[in-house]
Amino acid sequence: MKTHTFDNKGASASFDMLPYERFMRFGAQSLSDAELLAIMIRTGSNTSSPVDIARNVLALGRGKEKGLNCLYRVSLDELKRINGIGEVKAVKLKCIAEMAMRMSTRSASLSFDCCKPSEVALCYMEKLRHEEREKVILLCLNNKLRLIDECLLSIGTVNSASLSPRDVYMHALKTGASGVILIHNHPGGDPTPSRADVAITNKIRESGNMLDITLRDHIIIGDKSYYSFEEKGLLWQ
């Protein structure tokens, strides 16, 4: 079977070398999304070059998840339905997306300040905004408001996640925390709290007061936006 590759054999390979040549001359910033992806894909099929396959991958993007961002949400099965992508390439592309997310998250965490909702939200934005189900993360703080532990408390559905004060404070007590921050995402992209969000936040805050463990904030992550109960003054009413 004939395949297109990024080697120096044949006319089609000469065409497919263009992304490499452009990279060597002008750097990675000069490459289009399709060209960057084509270099990762490396080999094509008998009918499609790596660039063609990359364009087909990018075409899977929907709504706000267009371009390379589509790699976060597209499934392995969707990738494997593209001519020229088998299981190995599909896994490789998903790993590339995961690496990008982790680098973004860790970069933001270098200047992480638990006292600033905007910085907490920035640190977890890329980690949560692409998730298709609600996830609840608990941050445990010491008496100097330094992060001492992070815990994934719950994974829910598209529009809800199970959470109770017991879940929160059992873990907080184990770590010796004097304060906690709750973070969860809204897969729909709008971080505005629902009535259920407000109700459970109040319940957790009241339970924490009895245990002398302060709920410092509840942050909801949307699509490049967030909602902080602390910033809105809703935790001190």
Query: What are 177's two structure tokens?
Result: 């925390």
CATH topology of domain 111-228: Cytidine Deaminase; domain 2 (3.40.140)
Query: What are 222's two structure tokens?
Result: 């949307």
- From the first residue on, what is the mean pLDDT of each consecutive set of 10 residues in the chain (237 residues)? 47 55 87 92 88 92 74 89 94 90 63 84 87 92 91 77 88 95 94 94 95 97 95 85
- State the Cα–Cα distance between residues 54 and 44, nearest whole angstrom: 10
**First vs last C-alpha separation in the chain:** 70
Q: What is the pLDDT of residue 15?
A: 41
What is the DSSP code string of 93-146?
HHHHHHHHHHHHHHHHHTT--TT-HHHHHHHHHHHHTT-SS-EEEEEEE-TTS-
All CATH 3.40.140.10 domain ranges of the chain, comma separated, are 111-228
Residue from 185, 186, 236, 232 nearest 206 by CA = 236
Phi, psi of 136 (to 5 degrees): -115, 125
Distances (CA, A) of 209 to 140, 146, 204: 15, 19, 9
Query: What are 191's two structure tokens?
Result: 């971080």
